[in-house]
Amino acid sequence: DSGVTQTPKHLITATGQRVTLRCSPRSGDLSVYWYQQSLDQGLQFLIQYYNGEERAKGNILERFSAQQFPDLHSELNLSSLELGDSALYFCASTESSSYNSPLHFGNGTRLTVT
Amino acid sequence: ILNVEQSPQSLHVQEGDSTNFTCSFPSSNFYALHWYRWETAKSPEALFVMTLNGDEKKKGRISATLNTKEGYSYLYIKGSQPEDSATYLCAFPMDSNYQLIWGAGTKLIIKP
């Protein structure tokens, strides 16, 4: 158990809808990362937060947004959903934003858009 | 453009045999090199973070070496077991802010 909690585990919704994925980092970790894994694709970095502030942005669509709250949990909001947004969304956390801290991954949220 | 390459893409190994695979990364502006193991239906799990040239790390039957001057890292598994079956990913921070560039992974299948 990595100590990173993601909810829900599974989400099925229709095109055009909006969903929120939630992540609680490991106790003491200040940095949260969101990744997307689509079918047969590797990990695609979406966005990183450190202690409540956005630190880095990857290939995140404008329809997607995220935030990190004062208690350090993070939410990823996906709106105007399309079939292609179906994927496994991982959250990971690290103690700091230093490059020598390993990422600790949650179990992911599997999103299915029908 | 920064690129991290892993080879081979997949590997079938007989149970009990030892194996190794490679991660190649840009040798300039080196910060660190991460190794992760990703088992099917689970989430990636950190194995090693390596930062120094010549560094060698070990975790049970798995070890890794690092050559920052030539830009490669080897991951070794000694006496492969079925539970070693997984995709092994390496990742390279593109800057000091920790945005990782991920390799495509080496999928290891251990045959009983």
Q: Mean pLDDT, chain A, as a whole number?
A: 93
Q: What's the average model confidence in pLDDT over A100-107?
A: 92
Question: CB–CB of A38/A44 below 8 Å?
Answer: yes
pLDDT digits (tens, 9 = 90+) for B1-20: 568 999 999 999 999 999 99
Q: Can you give the pLDDT at residue B97?
A: 64
| Cross-strand pairs, B22 | B7, B74
**Confidence check: pLDDT of A1 > 90:** no
From CA A108, how far away is CA B9, in angstroms rounded?
Answer: 24
Per CB-CB distance under 8 Å, the chain B contacts of A105 are: 43-45
Nearest CB partner across the interface for B32, out of A56, A100, A108: A100
H/E segment holding residue A84: none
Q: What is the pLDDT of residue B41?
A: 87
Closest chain A residue by Cα to residue B44: A105
Mean pLDDT to the nearest integer, A7-21:
97
C-alpha radius of gyration, chain B, whole number: 13
3-state DSSP call for residue B3?
coil
pLDDT score of B1: 59
Residue B105 CB: number of other CB atoms within 10 A? 22
Residue from A5, A46, A99 whose CB has the most chain B CBs within 10 Å, to mutate: A99
Please indicate whether, in this complex, the C-beta atoms of A90 and B44 are within 8 angstroms of each other. Answer: yes
**Residues of chain B positioned with their CB less than 8 A from the CB of A108:** 43
Q: How many CA atoms lie within 13 A of A67 on its CB side?
A: 5
Is the Cα torsion angle B94, B96, B99, B103 positive or negative in sign?
positive
For the segment B9-33, the average pLDDT, to the nearest whole number, is 93
Q: Which residues of A touch B43 (CB under 8 A)?
A: 2, 90, 105-108
CB-CB contact of A46 with A59 (8 Å): yes
Nearest to A99 among B31, B44, B45 (CB): B31
User: What proportion of chain B, given as a percentage, has pLDDT over 90?
Assistant: 77
Residue B49 has its nearest CB partner, among A42, A100, A107, at A100
pLDDT in tens, A15-69: 999 999 999 999 999 999 999 998 777 888 999 999 999 988 988 999 999 999 9
Contact (Cβ atoms closer than 8 angstroms) between residue B74 and residue B20:
yes
| HEC profile of A9-57 | CEEEECCCCCEEEEEECCCCCCEEEEEEECCCCCCEEEEEEECCEEEEE
AA letter at B46 = A
Alpha-carbon distances of B103 from A91, A96, B35, rounded to whole Å: 18, 23, 10
Chain A residues in contact with B98 by the CB 8 A cut-off are 31, 48, 55-56, 94, 97-99, 101
Quick check: A71 contacting B, CB < 8 Å? no
Rounded Cα gap, residues A33 and A47, in angstroms: 6
